[in-house]
Amino acid sequence: MGPARTVFVALVLGVITIVLMPLQILATRFHWRLAALLPYYWQRIARWLIGLRVRVSGTPAKPPLLLTANHISWLDITVLGSVMPLSFVAKAEVAGWPVLGTLARLQRTVFIDRTKRSQTGAATAEIARRVGGGDVMVLFAEGTTGDGNRILPFRSALIGAAGAAAGANVITVQPVAVTYTRLGGIPVGASDRPGLAWYGEMPFIAHFSRLIGRGGIDAIVNFGEPIQFTPESDRKKVAEACFEAVREMDELARTATSYSGKGDRLFSPQPKDAKGTEGPAAGELAGQAGERIVNRVS
C-alpha cells in the first residue's frame, strides 16, 4: 500500500492544485480575502490525505501577528497551514525549487535573499506591510531544519521584521512549537525523529514517499504566551524569550506522549546568564546521523 498511497496522494493534490491555481493567482493579484483562505483549505485537504492528525494547544493571538516557530520538516507547512489562514517567510532559494517553490508562491510566501542587503530590506518591508495589513506570518526563526531532536537557537535578525512591521504601533510576536508525537500510533522517540525531519541532503521525493507511504502521523501545535513588540523592544531579548518558550513547549509535548511519561530529555535548562540566540552557526551543527545540517524550507 505504501507506493500506491504515495501516488494517490500526489495525484489528488496535483489535480486540486491545478484546479485552484488560476483562482488563487487572481485572488492574490486583486488582494481578495480568498487568497488567504484557499491555501488554508488546500492544507486541510493535504493533512487529511497525508494522514496527519493535528492537536492544537493554546490560542493564536489576534493580528497584527508574527508567529515564531521551530522547523523540522516540509510537513510543518501543512501542520501550521491547516490550523489557520497564514503565510510563511522563506529563504529565496525555495522559490526556485520544483513543486515546493510553486506551492510556496501560492501560499503567498515572502522570500528573503539573505545574501543581498538591498533585497533583504525589500523583503522586510513586505513582511511589515503584510503583518501590518492583518496577515498572519510564520517565521521559522531557527533559519534552518535540524534532525528534530533539538531546537536550534533563534536568529534575532530574522525577528527584526517585527520591528519594521510595528512602526509606531504595537504588534504581537507569538512563539509556536510544532512537535511530532506519534507515528502509526506509537510514541516518537529520539531515534525516530531524524526520519520525520527533512534536513541535510535528503531528497524531497524520497522523504515524501517514505512518510506518505506510512501515514498516521500525530502532531501537536502549541501556541505560547504572546509578546507585545513595540519600536522600543529589544529584538534579541524577544528572540531569546521565543526560543525558550518553544523549547519548553516542545519538551512538554514530548514528555506527555513518551512511553514512560517522563519523556526523553535531550537538553538541559540553560544557565541564567546564557543567551539563547547565541551559539554555533547552523551549518556547524551535526545531526544525529552525522549529517551536516543545511537550510531547507525556512
Residue pLDDT, tens place only, 60-78: 999 989 999 999 999 999 9
Q: Which domains does the chain have, with CATH numbers?
A: 2-269 (3.40.1130)
Average pLDDT, the chain: 82
Residue 2 has pLDDT above 70, yes or no: yes
Residue among 183, 201, 221, 252 at smallest CA distance from 70: 221
Please state, as a whole number, how many other Cβ atoms lie within 10 Å of the Cβ of residue 298.
Answer: 22
Please state, for a pLDDT cut of 70, what percent of the chain lies above it: 81
- The angle subtended at Cα 194 by Cα 262 and Cα 12, nearest 5°, is 115
Helix-helix angle 117-132:156-166, to 10 degrees: 50
Residue 280 has pLDDT above 70, yes or no: no
Q: Which residues contact 143 (CB under 8 A, 6 or more apart)?
A: 152, 155, 158, 282, 295, 298
Residue among 84, 62, 80 at smallest CA distance from 70: 80
Per-residue pLDDT at 205: 87
Q: What is the pLDDT of residues 250-261, one digit of tens each?
A: 999 998 876 544
Residue among 93, 92, 91, 69 at smallest CA distance from 81: 69
Find the DSSP H helices in 235-297.
Answer: 235-257
Q: How many residues make up the chain in this entry? A: 298
Per-residue pLDDT at 283: 34
Per-residue pLDDT at 60: 96
Q: Which residues contact 152 (CB under 8 A, 6 or more apart)?
A: 142, 143, 144, 146, 279, 282, 285, 293
Per-residue pLDDT at 102: 92
How many Å apart are CA 197 and CA 190, to the nearest integer? 11
Q: What is the pLDDT of residues 91-118, one digit of tens each?
A: 888 888 888 899 999 999 999 886 666 5
Residue 160 has pLDDT above 90, yes or no: no
How many Å apart are CA 87 and CA 160, to the nearest integer? 17
Please state, as a whole number, how many other Cβ atoms lie within 10 Å of the Cβ of residue 173.
Answer: 29
Residue 232 has pLDDT above 90, yes or no: no
Residue 235 gets the label, from left (phi > 0), alpha (psi -120 to 50) or beta, of: alpha
Per-residue pLDDT at 275: 42
Per-residue pLDDT at 25: 96
pTM of the complete model: 0.83
Which of 252-288 are b and which e, b meaning 16 or more Cβ less than 10 Å from the residue's Cβ? bbbeebbeeeebbeeeeeeeeeeebbeeeebeebebb
Per-residue pLDDT at 70: 95
Q: What is the pLDDT of residues 112-152, one digit of tens each?
A: 886 666 566 677 778 888 888 889 999 999 988 878 889 99
Per-residue pLDDT at 96: 87
Provide the pLDDT confidence category of residue 162 given band limits of 50, 70 and 90.
Answer: low
Per-residue pLDDT at 11: 96
Please state, as a whole number, how many other Cβ atoms lie within 10 Å of the Cβ of residue 36.
Answer: 20
Mean pLDDT of 185-214: 86
